[in-house]
Amino acid sequence: MKQRLPSLEAAMRPITVQRCGYSAIRDQINGAIGPAAAVLKAYDVVRELEKSLSFASCSDLPAYLSAMKRLEGALRFLADNCEVATQWLQDIVEFLEGKTFANDRSLLSVKKALRIIQELHAIEGFARRDGGLLNDAFNELEAEFISSLMENSTTTITSIASSPLSVLVIQKLQAIVERLNAADRLEKCIFMYAEARSLSAKRSLQALDLDYLEIRDHRVC
Protein backbone atom coordinates (compact mmCIF):
# COMPACT_ATOMS: atom_id res chain seq x y z
CA MET A 1 0.00 0.00 0.00
CA LYS A 2 2.79 2.42 0.89
CA GLN A 3 4.47 1.88 -2.47
CA ARG A 4 1.20 2.70 -4.23
CA LEU A 5 0.90 6.11 -2.61
CA PRO A 6 2.78 8.58 -4.81
CA SER A 7 4.81 11.38 -3.34
CA LEU A 8 2.62 14.43 -3.14
CA GLU A 9 5.64 16.67 -3.39
CA ALA A 10 6.63 14.99 -6.66
CA ALA A 11 3.06 15.15 -7.91
CA MET A 12 2.73 18.81 -7.06
CA ARG A 13 6.16 19.99 -8.13
CA PRO A 14 5.18 20.80 -11.75
CA ILE A 15 2.29 22.96 -10.53
CA THR A 16 4.03 26.18 -9.66
CA VAL A 17 2.63 29.52 -8.82
CA GLN A 18 4.07 30.83 -12.09
CA ARG A 19 2.17 28.26 -14.14
CA CYS A 20 -1.24 28.66 -12.61
CA GLY A 21 -1.03 32.22 -11.45
CA TYR A 22 -2.79 31.48 -8.13
CA SER A 23 -0.83 31.63 -4.89
CA ALA A 24 -3.72 29.88 -3.10
CA ILE A 25 -2.81 26.54 -4.66
CA ARG A 26 0.59 26.65 -2.97
CA ASP A 27 -1.07 26.74 0.45
CA GLN A 28 -3.34 23.85 -0.55
CA ILE A 29 -0.35 21.79 -1.66
CA ASN A 30 1.62 22.52 1.50
CA GLY A 31 -1.43 21.72 3.58
CA ALA A 32 -1.88 18.33 1.90
CA ILE A 33 1.72 17.16 2.15
CA GLY A 34 1.81 17.14 5.98
CA PRO A 35 -1.32 15.01 6.56
CA ALA A 36 -0.34 12.66 3.72
CA ALA A 37 3.07 12.09 5.32
CA ALA A 38 1.35 11.47 8.68
CA VAL A 39 -0.89 8.91 6.97
CA LEU A 40 2.15 6.96 5.80
CA LYS A 41 3.72 6.99 9.25
CA ALA A 42 0.44 6.00 10.90
CA TYR A 43 -0.02 3.16 8.41
CA ASP A 44 3.45 1.82 9.23
CA VAL A 45 2.60 1.87 12.95
CA VAL A 46 -0.71 0.11 12.32
CA ARG A 47 1.01 -2.66 10.39
CA GLU A 48 3.53 -3.22 13.20
CA LEU A 49 0.83 -3.25 15.87
CA GLU A 50 -1.25 -5.68 13.81
CA LYS A 51 1.72 -8.06 13.81
CA SER A 52 2.13 -7.67 17.57
CA LEU A 53 -1.53 -8.41 18.23
CA SER A 54 -1.59 -11.38 15.87
CA PHE A 55 1.19 -13.01 17.91
CA ALA A 56 -0.28 -12.04 21.30
CA SER A 57 -2.36 -14.38 23.44
CA CYS A 58 -5.05 -13.97 26.07
CA SER A 59 -2.93 -16.13 28.32
CA ASP A 60 -0.96 -12.92 28.94
CA LEU A 61 -4.03 -10.75 29.33
CA PRO A 62 -2.33 -7.42 30.25
CA ALA A 63 -0.08 -7.63 27.17
CA TYR A 64 -3.03 -8.64 24.99
CA LEU A 65 -5.22 -5.78 26.20
CA SER A 66 -2.33 -3.35 25.78
CA ALA A 67 -1.75 -4.50 22.19
CA MET A 68 -5.44 -4.10 21.41
CA LYS A 69 -5.60 -0.62 22.93
CA ARG A 70 -2.51 0.54 21.05
CA LEU A 71 -3.85 -0.80 17.77
CA GLU A 72 -7.22 0.89 18.29
CA GLY A 73 -5.44 4.17 18.99
CA ALA A 74 -3.25 3.84 15.90
CA LEU A 75 -6.26 3.06 13.73
CA ARG A 76 -8.07 6.13 15.01
CA PHE A 77 -4.98 8.26 14.38
CA LEU A 78 -4.73 6.86 10.86
CA ALA A 79 -8.40 7.54 10.18
CA ASP A 80 -8.16 11.09 11.53
CA ASN A 81 -5.16 11.92 9.35
CA CYS A 82 -6.84 10.33 6.35
CA GLU A 83 -9.81 12.63 6.85
CA VAL A 84 -7.57 15.70 6.92
CA ALA A 85 -5.51 14.59 3.92
CA THR A 86 -8.66 13.71 1.99
CA GLN A 87 -10.12 17.16 2.57
CA TRP A 88 -6.95 18.88 1.35
CA LEU A 89 -6.62 16.64 -1.69
CA GLN A 90 -10.26 17.06 -2.66
CA ASP A 91 -9.81 20.82 -2.53
CA ILE A 92 -6.73 20.56 -4.76
CA VAL A 93 -8.50 18.32 -7.26
CA GLU A 94 -11.48 20.67 -7.36
CA PHE A 95 -9.20 23.65 -7.88
CA LEU A 96 -7.17 22.04 -10.67
CA GLU A 97 -10.19 20.66 -12.49
CA GLY A 98 -11.55 24.18 -12.73
CA LYS A 99 -8.35 25.50 -14.28
CA THR A 100 -6.09 24.42 -17.12
CA PHE A 101 -4.89 21.15 -15.58
CA ALA A 102 -7.80 18.81 -16.35
CA ASN A 103 -5.54 16.36 -18.18
CA ASP A 104 -2.34 17.18 -16.33
CA ARG A 105 -0.27 14.24 -15.05
CA SER A 106 0.06 15.88 -11.68
CA LEU A 107 -3.71 16.05 -11.33
CA LEU A 108 -3.95 12.34 -12.13
CA SER A 109 -1.31 11.62 -9.47
CA VAL A 110 -3.26 13.61 -6.88
CA LYS A 111 -6.44 11.72 -7.77
CA LYS A 112 -4.57 8.45 -7.36
CA ALA A 113 -3.26 9.55 -3.97
CA LEU A 114 -6.78 10.54 -2.98
CA ARG A 115 -8.19 7.11 -3.86
CA ILE A 116 -5.48 5.30 -1.91
CA ILE A 117 -5.90 7.51 1.15
CA GLN A 118 -9.62 6.83 1.04
CA GLU A 119 -8.81 3.10 1.04
CA LEU A 120 -6.55 3.60 4.05
CA HIS A 121 -9.34 5.49 5.78
CA ALA A 122 -11.50 2.36 5.54
CA ILE A 123 -8.95 0.17 7.34
CA GLU A 124 -10.37 0.89 10.80
CA GLY A 125 -13.84 -0.18 9.70
CA PHE A 126 -12.50 -3.36 8.12
CA ALA A 127 -10.60 -4.24 11.30
CA ARG A 128 -13.85 -4.19 13.30
CA ARG A 129 -15.91 -6.26 10.87
CA ASP A 130 -16.24 -10.04 10.79
CA GLY A 131 -12.86 -11.46 9.88
CA GLY A 132 -11.05 -8.25 10.84
CA LEU A 133 -8.17 -8.40 13.29
CA LEU A 134 -9.82 -6.26 15.97
CA ASN A 135 -13.10 -8.12 15.65
CA ASP A 136 -11.25 -11.42 16.10
CA ALA A 137 -9.44 -9.99 19.13
CA PHE A 138 -12.73 -8.97 20.73
CA ASN A 139 -14.08 -12.46 20.03
CA GLU A 140 -11.05 -13.85 21.85
CA LEU A 141 -11.76 -11.59 24.82
CA GLU A 142 -15.37 -12.72 24.95
CA ALA A 143 -14.26 -16.36 24.85
CA GLU A 144 -11.70 -15.73 27.59
CA PHE A 145 -14.33 -14.02 29.76
CA ILE A 146 -16.76 -16.90 29.37
CA SER A 147 -14.08 -19.53 29.96
CA SER A 148 -12.72 -17.85 33.09
CA LEU A 149 -16.20 -17.21 34.43
CA MET A 150 -17.43 -20.77 33.97
CA GLU A 151 -14.24 -22.34 35.32
CA ASN A 152 -14.44 -20.29 38.49
CA SER A 153 -18.18 -20.29 39.14
CA THR A 154 -18.32 -23.44 41.27
CA THR A 155 -19.52 -22.93 44.83
CA THR A 156 -19.50 -24.94 48.01
CA ILE A 157 -21.55 -24.71 51.17
CA THR A 158 -18.85 -22.62 52.84
CA SER A 159 -18.86 -20.06 50.02
CA ILE A 160 -22.61 -19.60 49.60
CA ALA A 161 -22.63 -16.29 51.43
CA SER A 162 -19.62 -14.92 49.59
CA SER A 163 -18.53 -14.50 45.99
CA PRO A 164 -17.28 -17.76 44.47
CA LEU A 165 -14.80 -15.78 42.39
CA SER A 166 -11.32 -15.00 43.67
CA VAL A 167 -9.94 -11.47 43.66
CA LEU A 168 -7.58 -12.30 40.78
CA VAL A 169 -10.40 -13.72 38.67
CA ILE A 170 -12.60 -10.71 39.38
CA GLN A 171 -9.78 -8.36 38.38
CA LYS A 172 -9.27 -10.32 35.18
CA LEU A 173 -12.96 -10.23 34.32
CA GLN A 174 -13.15 -6.52 35.11
CA ALA A 175 -10.23 -5.79 32.78
CA ILE A 176 -11.93 -7.69 29.96
CA VAL A 177 -15.26 -5.99 30.64
CA GLU A 178 -13.68 -2.53 30.47
CA ARG A 179 -12.21 -3.23 27.03
CA LEU A 180 -15.41 -4.83 25.73
CA ASN A 181 -17.52 -1.99 27.13
CA ALA A 182 -15.36 0.55 25.29
CA ALA A 183 -16.21 -1.30 22.08
CA ASP A 184 -19.91 -1.67 22.99
CA ARG A 185 -19.61 -5.48 23.06
CA LEU A 186 -20.87 -6.40 26.51
CA GLU A 187 -24.14 -8.10 25.56
CA LYS A 188 -22.77 -11.65 25.28
CA CYS A 189 -20.77 -11.35 28.50
CA ILE A 190 -23.75 -9.99 30.43
CA PHE A 191 -25.84 -12.94 29.28
CA MET A 192 -23.13 -15.46 30.22
CA TYR A 193 -22.59 -13.80 33.61
CA ALA A 194 -26.29 -14.16 34.37
CA GLU A 195 -26.13 -17.80 33.27
CA ALA A 196 -23.09 -18.45 35.44
CA ARG A 197 -24.69 -16.87 38.51
CA SER A 198 -27.85 -18.90 37.94
CA LEU A 199 -25.80 -22.07 37.68
CA SER A 200 -23.91 -21.12 40.82
CA ALA A 201 -27.15 -20.59 42.72
CA LYS A 202 -28.48 -23.98 41.60
CA ARG A 203 -25.29 -25.69 42.75
CA SER A 204 -25.51 -23.92 46.10
CA LEU A 205 -29.08 -25.13 46.64
CA GLN A 206 -28.14 -28.66 45.63
CA ALA A 207 -25.26 -28.58 48.12
CA LEU A 208 -27.70 -27.75 50.92
CA ASP A 209 -29.57 -31.05 50.34
CA LEU A 210 -33.08 -29.64 50.71
CA ASP A 211 -34.81 -32.93 49.99
CA TYR A 212 -36.06 -33.05 53.58
CA LEU A 213 -38.21 -29.99 52.89
CA GLU A 214 -40.06 -31.88 50.20
CA ILE A 215 -40.60 -34.80 52.62
CA ARG A 216 -41.85 -32.43 55.31
CA ASP A 217 -44.27 -30.79 52.89
CA HIS A 218 -45.74 -34.18 52.02
CA ARG A 219 -46.26 -34.94 55.73
CA VAL A 220 -48.03 -31.63 56.27
CA CYS A 221 -50.37 -32.33 53.39
143 and 81, same domain (yes or no):
no
Question: Which residues are CB-contacts of 84 (< 8 A; sequence separation ≥ 6)?
Answer: 35, 38
CATH number at residue 39: 1.20.58
Q: How many Å apart are CA 8 and CA 49, to the nearest integer?
A: 26
Of the candidates 58, 56, 71, 178, the residue with the CA atom closest to the CA atom of residue 134: 71
- What band does 169 get if pLDDT is binned at 50, 70 and 90? confident
Domain that holds residue 124: 8-128
Query: Is residue 23 domain-shared with residue 112, that is, in the same domain?
Result: yes
Evaluate whether residue 80 is within a structural domain: yes
Determine what percent of the chain falls in helix, strand and coil, rounding each to the nearest 5. Answer: 80, 0, 20
Rounded to an integer, what distance in angstroms lies between the CA atom of residue 150 and that of residue 140?
Answer: 15
At which of 98, 128, 158 does a domain end?
Answer: 128
pLDDT at 39: 87
Point out the domain boundary residue: 128, 152, 168: 128
Is residue 81 located within the same domain as residue 117?
yes
Q: Is residue 1 part of a domain?
A: no
- Please indicate, yes or no, whether residues 73 and 162 belong to a single structural domain of this protein: no
The last residue of a domain, from among 128, 158, 183: 128
Same domain? 146 vs 208: yes
**Structural domain includes residue 188:** yes
d(CA 14, CA 135): 44
Mean pLDDT computed over every residue of the chain: 77
> In this structure, is residue 2 part of a structural domain?
no
In this prediction, residue 160 has a pLDDT band, given cuts at 50, 70 and 90, of very low
| pLDDT in the model for residue 53 | 93
Domain assignment of residue 67, yes or no: yes
* Per-residue DSSP letter, 98: T
Residues 84 and 168 in one domain: no
Whether residue 44 lies inside any domain: the answer is yes
- Give pLDDT tens digits for 19-61: 554 556 667 776 777 788 888 889 999 999 999 999 999 989 9
Count up the domains in the chain and report the number: 2
Is 69's pLDDT higher than 90? yes
Give the pLDDT score at 67.
94
Tens digit of each residue's pLDDT (9 = 90 or more) over 83-109: 988 988 888 888 777 766 555 677 787
**Distant-in-sequence contacts of 1-4, Cβ < 8 A, 24+ apart:** 1/43, 1/116, 1/119, 1/120, 2/40, 2/43, 2/44, 4/116
Question: Angle of helix 24-55 relative to helix 105-121, nearest 10 degrees?
Answer: 40
Q: Is residue 3 part of a domain?
A: no
In a domain, 195, yes or no: yes
Residue 157 is predicted with a pLDDT of: 40
In the prediction, which pLDDT does 88 show?
Answer: 86
Question: 139 and 109 in one domain?
Answer: no
- Condensed to tens digits (0 to 9), the pLDDT of residues 184-206 reads 888 888 887 787 766 666 666 56
**H and E: helices and strands count for the chain:** 10, 0
* Distance between CA atoms of residues 90 and 103, nearest Å: 16
Are 185 and 213 within one domain? yes
pTM of the model: 0.73
More confident: 113 or 22:
113
Q: Report pLDDT for 179.
A: 92
